[in-house]
Structure 1
Amino acid sequence: ISSHVHYSGTREDRSSRVVETIEFTTDRGQTVRANPVVSDTGTVDRSGMSVTVLHDRDRPERFIAPQNGHGISARVPVMRIGFGLLFLVVIGIIVNGGRMILGQLPFF
């Protein structure tokens, strides 16, 4: 593995992520050197390390190299969805509570 940091966004709102280039040989003897389709490593630099690669047998250039070696973790997307739903519920409660309060005032 080799890796580099990729920066994106504007100077005020800048984010970074580690982009890995991985080289492996398939069970059919084909050498592949590419970037994983999806990465769950965040900012972990795994340069020079050996990692487990899961690839499509017919299209080996489409692969993942999960941090845990078993599969891409769904924890982060599930947490984002959960926080988004929680945010919507809280906003709904605030809006509904505001309507109830305004409904009880004599001039509304």
Structure 2
Amino acid sequence: MFFCHFKHFKVTQITDSFLQNLAKYPLIAHHFEQTDIHAFRQRLIEHMCIVSGGDCVYKGESMFDSHVGLHISQADFDAVVGHLIEALKQQQIGIATRNALLAKLAPMYQEITYY
């Protein structure tokens, strides 16, 4: 798989950069006001590991169940993707790998957005 050469720490570093980027963006940060960030971080690391071809176990809810009722718009989704791309760049992930990861995540759009 395209990402399996990454060590677990790389997925963790990407996740941490991503969360730091989101925290600085108030139009997205409000979606996380009632979220246990430590638990969210762990589920996100697991999810990114699985999506990237790792042999992790994801212990979270489905994308649909974890986003239902959050009223995430296309603009919200696009902003989050932008912050993920920035995190990937910050961690020096090449464009081909970034695009491969984004292609794996793109189908989740319909499970996450509700507008």
Same fold (TM over 0.5): no
Say which structure is richer in strand.
1
- The structure where helix makes up a greater share of residues is 2
TM-score, normalisation: structure 2 = 0.23
Normalised to the residue count of structure 1, the TM-score between the two structures is 0.25
Highest RCO, 1 vs 2 (Cα 8 Å, sep ≥ 6): 2
Larger Rg: 1
